[in-house]
Each structure stands twice: as structure tokens, then as C-alpha cells.
Amino acid sequence: MAEPGNPPAHRRLPGIATLLLAQVRYQLRLLLRSPRALGAGLAIPALLLLLSAPRHGVEAGRLAGLAVLGVTTTAWVTHGIGLVAAREAGVLKRWRATPLPPWCYFAGRIAATVLVAVLAAAVTVAIGVERFGTRLDTGAAVAMAVAVALGALAM
């Protein structure tokens, strides 16, 4: 406790990078605990690939389309619907009473969504490459990872 006449010592917030990383970690934990995010983004594209693929292989275009389905679904369910649900549950009002800057909260949500969306696309592509023998060289894999990350960020 502060003595009479002495103001209480103010605690400083951690640095920007520390705040952002902690927020991304927290949002990732929330997303990965949600069955919506895992079911919609990871399971649906993988199941569609496994159930509808011919036995002799999958074309790269079909595999890319299912990966995009995973990215789109993940982004919509985790960020679009999740943000509305947070508003309706009063999370955003309670968050405004904390010292966390607004940009950090939203940047953490967006970064976590992009990471989960990239994971969803990676799982779909990995199943296509491993199970169905779809060819994917290193240059194409890097280009696809960049495109998926940018697409998830846009979503």
C-alpha cells in the first residue's frame, strides 16, 4: 500500500512485441479450444478431400481449391463470427476497461486467425501430397504458403 501523501507507483506495460505475442498466444488458445474453428477449418476440407478424391490422385487445382475452402471457412468462423460473438457476450466492453491497446487486441485476433487458417491449408495439402501423391516442389510450396498467408490476412 502507498503511504499517505505518496502516490502509488505505476506499473509500466510490457513492450509492444511482448504484448502482441502474449495476445496472439491467448487468442490461439481460445481458437484451438473452440470446436467450431477446428471442425470447420481443418476437418471439413480434409474430409471432402478424402471422400471425393479418386484413387489415382488429386489434381493440384482441386487440392488448392480445398485449401482455400479451409482458409475461408477458418477466417469466417474464427474472426468474423467470433468477433460478433465476443461483442454480444460483452467481451469487447470488458476489454476496453483494460490497459491493452485496441490495436494489440485486434492484431492478436487477426494474427491468430491467420495462423490457424495456414494450419488448415497445410493439413489439407499434406493429406493430398501424402495420401494421393500430388506433386508439390519446394518453390510451389513456398509460393503457396505466401499466397495462403496473404489470403488469410485478407479474409
Q: Which of 46, 92, 111, 51 is nearest to 73 (CA)?
A: 46
pLDDT-based confidence at 4, cuts 50/70/90?
A: low
pLDDT-based confidence at 24, cuts 50/70/90?
A: very high
Residue 2 has pLDDT above 60, yes or no: no
Q: What percent of the chain has pLDDT over 70?
A: 92
Q: Which residue reads 457476450 in cell numbers?
A: 89
- What does pLDDT average to over the chain? 85
Q: To 5 degrees, how large is the angle CA 76–CA 122–CA 130?
A: 140
pLDDT computed for residue 106 by the predictor: 93
29-56 per-position pLDDT tens digit? 988 787 777 788 888 998 888 888 777 6
pLDDT computed for residue 88 by the predictor: 94
pLDDT computed for residue 52 by the predictor: 80
pTM of the model: 0.82
115-139 per-position pLDDT tens digit? 988 988 999 988 888 888 888 888 8
Listed ranges 6-20, 54-68, 89-103; the one with the highest mean pLDDT: 89-103
Instruction: Tell me the domain boundaries of the chain.
Output: 16-154
16 to 13, 19, 101, 111: CA distances (angstroms)? 9, 5, 10, 15
